[in-house]
Structure 1
């Protein structure tokens, strides 16, 4: 504890121009996700792919898969249950009025009551006062606010949000505009040391490194008698839906097209075909064998061919991993 009675914040962010500091290591680790983009706690559920900065957020997310509501209302006669303890306590306060403090307006003839003191103060300024007390001092503005915090937030509209990167003179009109600028102009470069490919964040780089691994896991089709295998969950799901279940529920709405797809992402990619801006079209990648793709070999750009799609993937033996040496035989 410091002299003011607050916890001593000895865990300090090491990034330049960041003054964040915390009293717990896990709080600093969660904060570092904002700088690095790394979210170390990944959901293990097949096909999910979501990851989080803290273990608590991961555990809270896992409830969405199980649907378990293990926190029952503590009030007698109420059978409601909730996924988290905080949701249960909020229900008790709102539905049963336990521990809920109200703030009543003392203006004669009003009688309104509010759950928060801030709501009461806002009500008094708007209904019973001529003008809110906090006025913007910027020339020609004249905006007034009931709370100083809202005035400070408003004043940033006039000052703007300057970029703090060295040598950058950009100033955003809004916080969102500044964040967009930082994302587009000052994004950290994550480059693969094996093939020099540039990824958008460290998590994507870590996922990409699997391409260069000596052994890479492939996904076998679980249907009896089917020997096909795929390198991504998306291609496997698309194969099962279109080939085995004969389900292609996503149809192109373009008049005269009529094409259908097993996955929504496939329909979104197909929509580019109807886009008048042909520059958005991507040239097809060269068709390569599974062993060649798993080897990590990067072909020259002038190579011609087609890429593997779930609908055209050729049958392969049921294997769980393919060694890198197979890349020289395909």
Structure 2
């Protein structure tokens, strides 16, 4: 009686909106990891730190440290061993397939063999009966399919993909059409709360927010005597290949050139020299001096004034007479001071100029 009651016992997930139920407690515990994200079974090996939902998965993981392979191939003459029964089954299916069960076509005079039962069913529908068993249930549609999965995919043609945004009545005929509509009509943008820059998804925002962090994690070059550091491992690898290993795998294929480069981007920039019309080059943005940036006086205004033509905006705002810009780098207090009083600087900039 106890075994019968144990067989019908159900362990139900307590999270709202989840209808999962299991006949074993450990199965429910493993399922709860999906909701909580907590994996209680942690590997105790030094330097590992991986965690798992069940003791079984932890025990299977520990085999990777010990090197023990308890699952041996059962075919005579084969000495292969594996750390899991799944790997052993896969091995036997690939290398000892003649020992596996075959599914034979029962049609008179055929006798073809298949590794999977669904392959046999598909063969019988296409070659013998010519009538796939799964028919579309929508009125007026006579399409039939060999497998339920193909029927379910076909029914999306009738149902479509309705937009889930409130107040939007769009229904895409295909998944691609639905995604295109979402991208064009309901494009979601995320904004940085510190500088108000806008990004198309949270990943780009997360990468950008490293700019605002007080402490930035960098990766130092491990070579002796090299003090270079990088924020990305890929940049460090490019640095090691180019400057320490001397690897330059990207070669220009233009006749008579043959220059080599460490990264593909450098080769692409070099290619513009041989074919200038292939890529439209952006004009370099003119750099402004430190005095110009702090005072708000643009370089274009100064260039116009030198030619004797004063812009209309300058006639209204600039005081009469000539303005002499003195480089602030001459003031050594600015160079040595650890911080700048931005409030005082703003007050000084807003005060009228004296000539």
CA 266–168 in structure 1, closer or farther in 2 if over 3 Å, else same: farther
Please give the TM-score of this superposition, normalised by the length of structure 1.
0.56
Aligned position for 2:240: 240
Aligned position for 1:86: 86
Distance 2:127 2:177 in 1: 35
CA 169–12 in structure 1, closer or farther in 2 if over 3 Å, else same: same
Aligned position for 1:164: 164
Distance 2:239 2:183 in 1: 36
Distance 1:143 1:184 in 2: 33
Aligned position for 1:262: 262
Name the SS for the 1:123 alignment partner: helix
Aligned position for 2:73: 74
Aligned position for 1:152: 152
Name the SS for the 2:129 alignment partner: coil
Deviation at 1:127, TM superposition (A): 1.3
Distance 1:327 1:271 in 2: 44
Distance 1:83 1:198 in 2: 49
Deviation at 1:129, TM superposition (A): 0.6
Which runs of structure 2 are paired with 1:191-202 in the superposition (5 Å)?
A: 191-202=191-202
Contact 1:82 1:88 in 2 (8 A): yes
Distance 2:90 2:195 in 1: 52
Contact 1:162 1:169 in 2 (8 A): yes
User: How many residues align structurally?
Assistant: 256
Worse overlay, 204-213 or 94-103: 94-103
Deviation at 1:92, TM superposition (A): 2.7
The unaligned stretches of length 5 or more in structure 2 are 1-7, 22-27, 38-46, 288-295, 300-336, 341-355
Aligned position for 2:228: 228
Distance 2:203 2:33 in 1: 19
Q: Report Cα offsets for 1:94-122 as digits up to 9, x if no partner.
A: 53469954432222222223333322221
Contact 2:135 2:151 in 1 (8 A): yes
Larger radius of gyration: 2
Distance 1:7 1:89 in 2: 31
The answer to whether residue 130 in structure 2 is matched with residue 126 in structure 1 is no
CA 263–96 in structure 1, closer or farther in 2 if over 3 Å, else same: same
Distance 2:100 2:90 in 1: 10
Name the SS for the 1:222 alignment partner: coil
Aligned position for 2:107: 107
Which runs of structure 2 are paired with 1:212-227 in the superposition (5 Å)?
A: 212-227=212-227
Q: Which has the higher helix share?
A: 2
Distance 1:283 1:6 in 2: 70
Aligned position for 2:32: 25
By relative contact order (CA 8 Å, sep 6+), the higher-ranking structure is 1
CA 148–246 in structure 1, closer or farther in 2 if over 3 Å, else same: closer
Contact 1:242 1:248 in 2 (8 A): yes
Name the SS for the 2:126 alignment partner: helix
Deviation at 1:126, TM superposition (A): 0.9
Aligned position for 1:310: none
CA 109–277 in structure 1, closer or farther in 2 if over 3 Å, else same: same
Contact 2:252 2:259 in 1 (8 A): yes
Contact 1:172 1:178 in 2 (8 A): yes
Distance 1:71 1:177 in 2: 50
The unaligned stretches of length 5 or more in structure 1 are 14-18, 31-44, 46-53, 288-299, 304-324
Aligned position for 2:4: none
CA 214–137 in structure 1, closer or farther in 2 if over 3 Å, else same: closer
